[in-house]
């Protein structure tokens, strides 16, 4: 079985195959100006699962994910705090790495930073100016000329006939935004002339001092590490337009090579308890927010990958509780199989890796679902259906290890295997107690602990969360 995905560009399901000695995969990374939220992680996790599935199918993957460490937001926030841009973005990059590790995400093969690739970006802008696809405006900025690219709009299905593309006059200003709606399609900035609000965050260029636009960094860095045409590009569906459309235009017009990317992989939005995520609703959860409510990173991972990546995911606390019981089922089945087989947990951990044969095993159905447009919900269903057949055979255990690797699940990880399933009423009291403890309301925390133990449970505190044990 070969993995396939729905390719946004061709609008069809296609089998994935590397065009060269490795499968080149570029994913738009985080803009490091604060902690990533679970909507961001949903996308990164979908890409992580895709990469794992490719690896399990025997394909060698080169995974590049960038760090956007210069843009309007990073500059604004660092200046507000009076710290240098690099100091500011370093802190949030480290935080991002720590969260990824907790979520058991594989680190990318290369993680280039925009500020370390200014030369490559300038080189691409120069090429576009030379071959007539870009022009310098009076404001010291350089713009991509959309009307010079007959293919513009092919990814997002933008209808060019109805496009009133504007060129930028010497005033320029209005066209400097990195993110905009389809209604305001106009030539976009490749290079932004220096403005007073940039402070000392600028670089020299043939067009004067300034900084790169957002879109050009992904074109320049993907080309540097994967070549001018490569296999797959991933991102959230919100990046399809204008970001990815602009990346295609920049890359294909600067190299004259088509296509820039063969397969486009977009994951759908995340809703929280049926509502759109927003600061004002207070549901823009970070990993820390959920861990401090008593959920483990494995549970959060499970809940974020459990829906199909192309369908909007409604993230709920009920879903997190379901993830907990699912993980606990996996760990119980595993524990009993290990006991029968006389294998230790340490021994089994070595089997959580790609390589084992999945076809012809009890996990063939799950593997087939993952190969069929990364259908994680179907794969999970197939895994639970296969568990009663696990037995103690080495072949089954090796296949179990491989399918767990594909999903990035580790039922032996702390917080999954050890946590016992408490009734919702107890879990709710424990969450309230944790909140009270965090707010330093120790009287209330003690009172709640008393209630919990009267109901026959003990709360165990860890550094970043708690677990419950039957007393
Ligand atoms: Zn990007």
**Percentage of the chain modeled with pLDDT above 90:** 79
pLDDT interval class at 92 (50, 70, 90): very high
Contacts for 366 with CB less than 8 Å, ≥ 6 apart: 358, 379, 380, 382, 383, 386, 403
Above 50 in pLDDT, residue 197? yes
The CA distance from 388 to 399, in Å, is 14
Ion ligand 1: residues, CB within 5 A, are: 28, 218
Token code pair at residue 148: 């010079």
In terms of Cβ atoms closer than 10 Å to its own Cβ (0-12, 13-18, 19+), residue 146 is buried
pTM for this one? 0.86
The CA distance from 235 to 253, in Å, is 22
Contacts for 167 with CB less than 8 Å, ≥ 6 apart: 143, 145, 147, 186, 187
Region of poorest pLDDT, from 160-174, 184-198, 252-266, 307-321: 160-174
The CA distance from 324 to 299, in Å, is 6
The CA distance from 415 to 409, in Å, is 12
In terms of Cβ atoms closer than 10 Å to its own Cβ (0-12, 13-18, 19+), residue 118 is middle
Average pLDDT, the chain: 91
First-to-final CA distance of the chain: 48
Token code pair at residue 21: 């000695």
Q: Cα(323) to centroid of ligand 1, in Å?
A: 31
Q: Cα(312) to centroid of ligand 1, in Å?
A: 21
Per the CB < 8 A criterion, the answer to whether 36 and 99 are in contact is yes
Angle between helices 317-341 and 394-407 (to 10 degrees): 160
Token code pair at residue 233: 């590009």
Q: What's the gap between Cα 83 and its chain centre? A: 28
Per the CB < 8 A criterion, the answer to whether 59 and 23 are in contact is yes
Q: Nearest Cα to 300, choosing from 284, 287, 285?
A: 287
The pLDDT value given to residue 282: 87
Q: Cα(156) to centroid of ligand 1, in Å?
A: 15
Mean pLDDT of 245-263: 95
Q: Cα(215) to centroid of ligand 1, in Å?
A: 6
Using one digit for the tens of pLDDT, what is the confidence trace for 286-329? 999 999 999 999 999 999 999 999 999 999 999 999 999 999 99
Q: Cα(354) to centroid of ligand 1, in Å?
A: 28
pLDDT interval class at 207 (50, 70, 90): very high
Token code pair at residue 186: 């106009």
Q: Cα(107) to centroid of ligand 1, in Å?
A: 17
Q: What's the gap between Cα 297 and its chain centre? A: 15
Q: Cα(224) to centroid of ligand 1, in Å?
A: 14
Q: Cα(37) to centroid of ligand 1, in Å?
A: 18
Q: Cα(121) to centroid of ligand 1, in Å?
A: 13
Q: Cα(221) to centroid of ligand 1, in Å?
A: 9
Q: Which helix (H) or strand (E) holds 315?
A: strand 313-315
Per the CB < 8 A criterion, the answer to whether 38 and 290 are in contact is yes
Using one digit for the tens of pLDDT, what is the confidence trace for 376-399? 999 999 999 999 999 999 999 999
At residue 380, what are phi and psi to the nearest 5 degrees?
Answer: -60, -45
Q: Cα(179) to centroid of ligand 1, in Å?
A: 12
* Strand partners of residue 212: 191
Q: Cα(27) to centroid of ligand 1, in Å?
A: 7
Q: Cα(382) to centroid of ligand 1, in Å?
A: 34
Per the CB < 8 A criterion, the answer to whether 25 and 64 are in contact is yes
Q: Cα(28) to centroid of ligand 1, in Å?
A: 4
Q: Cα(59) to centroid of ligand 1, in Å?
A: 24
DSSP 255-280: H--S-SEEEEEEEPPEEETTEE--TT
Q: Cα(220) to centroid of ligand 1, in Å?
A: 10
CB atoms within 10 A of CB 151: 14
Q: Cα(67) to centroid of ligand 1, in Å?
A: 9
Region of poorest pLDDT, from 69-83, 146-160, 324-338: 146-160
At residue 16, what are phi and psi to the nearest 5 degrees?
Answer: -95, 130
Q: Cα(410) to centroid of ligand 1, in Å?
A: 30
Q: Cα(378) to centroid of ligand 1, in Å?
A: 30
Using one digit for the tens of pLDDT, what is the confidence trace for 42-67? 999 999 999 999 999 999 999 999 99
Token code pair at residue 412: 């032996």
pLDDT interval class at 427 (50, 70, 90): confident
Using one digit for the tens of pLDDT, what is the confidence trace for 394-414? 999 999 999 999 999 998 875
Q: Cα(212) to centroid of ligand 1, in Å?
A: 13
User: Would you give the DSSP letter of residue 423?
Assistant: -
The CA distance from 70 to 57, in Å, is 37
The CA distance from 16 to 231, in Å, is 9
Q: Cα(32) to centroid of ligand 1, in Å?
A: 13
At residue 271, what are phi and psi to the nearest 5 degrees?
Answer: -110, 155
Mean pLDDT of 126-132: 97
Q: Cα(65) to centroid of ligand 1, in Å?
A: 9
Token code pair at residue 255: 């190299």
Q: Cα(191) to centroid of ligand 1, in Å?
A: 16
Residue 445 CB-half CA count within 13 A: 13
Contacts for 130 with CB less than 8 Å, ≥ 6 apart: none
Above 90 in pLDDT, residue 132? yes
Token code pair at residue 294: 């008593």
Mean pLDDT of 337-351: 93
Which residue, chain included where needed, has tokens 């820039």?
A: 260
Per the CB < 8 A criterion, the answer to whether 21 and 75 are in contact is no
């Amino acid at each position: 079985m070969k993995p396939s995905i729905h390719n946004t560009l061709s609008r069809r399901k296609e089998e994935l195959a590397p065009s060269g000695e490795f499968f080149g995969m570029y994913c738009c990374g985080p803009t490091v100006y604060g902690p990533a939220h679970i909507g961001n992680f949903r996308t990164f996790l979908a890409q992580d699962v895709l990469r794992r599935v490719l690896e399990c199918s025997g394909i060698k993957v080169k995974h590049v994910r960038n760090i956007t460490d210069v843009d309007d937001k990073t500059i604004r926030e660092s200046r507000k705090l009076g710290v240098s841009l690099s100091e500011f973005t370093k802190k949030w990059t480290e935080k991002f790495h720590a969260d990824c590790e907790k979520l058991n995400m594989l680190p990318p093969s290369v993680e280039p930073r925009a500020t370390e690739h200014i030369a490559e970006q300038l080189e691409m802008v120069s090429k576009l100016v030379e071959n007539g696809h870009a022009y310098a405006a009076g404001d010291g900025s350089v713009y991509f000329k959309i009307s010079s690219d007959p293919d513009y709009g092919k990814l997002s299905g933008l209808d060019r006939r109805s496009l009133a593309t504007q060129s930028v006059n010497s005033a320029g200003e209005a066209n400097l935004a990195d993110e905009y709606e389809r209604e305001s399609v106009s030539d976009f900035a490749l290079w932004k002339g220096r403005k007073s609000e940039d402070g000392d965050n600028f670089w020299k260029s043939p067009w004067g001092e300034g900084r790169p636009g957002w879109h050009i960094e992904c074109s320049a860095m993907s080309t540097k590490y994967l070549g001018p045409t490569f296999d797959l590009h991933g991102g959230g569906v919100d990046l399809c337009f204008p970001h990815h459309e602009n990346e295609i235009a920049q890359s294909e017009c600067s190299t004259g090579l088509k296509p820039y990317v063969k397969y486009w992989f977009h994951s759908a939005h995340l809703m929280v308890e049926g509502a759109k995520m927003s600061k004002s609703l207070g549901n823009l959860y970070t990993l820390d927010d959920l861990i401090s409510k008593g959920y483990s990173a494995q549970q959060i991972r499970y809940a974020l990958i459990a829906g199909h990546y192309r369908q909007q995911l409604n993230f709920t606390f009920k879903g997190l509780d379901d993830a907990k019981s699912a993980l606990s089922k996996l760990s119980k089945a595993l524990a009993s199989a290990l006991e029968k087989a006389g294998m230790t947990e340490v021994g089994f951990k070595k089997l959580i890796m790609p390589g084992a044969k999945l076809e012809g095993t009890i996990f063939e159905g799950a593997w087939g679902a993952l190969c069929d447009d990364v259908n994680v919900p179907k794969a999970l269903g197939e895994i639970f259906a296969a568990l009663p057949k696990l037995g103690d055979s080495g072949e089954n255990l090796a296949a179990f290890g491989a399918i767990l690797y594909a999903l990035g699940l580790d039922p032996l990880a702390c917080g999954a295997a050890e946590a016992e399933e408490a009734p919702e009423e107890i879990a709710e009291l424990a969450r309230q107690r944790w909140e009270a403890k965090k707010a330093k309301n120790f009287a209330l925390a003690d009172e709640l602990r008393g209630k919990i133990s009267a109901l026959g449970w003990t709360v165990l505190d860890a550094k970043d969360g708690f677990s419950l044990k039957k007393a």
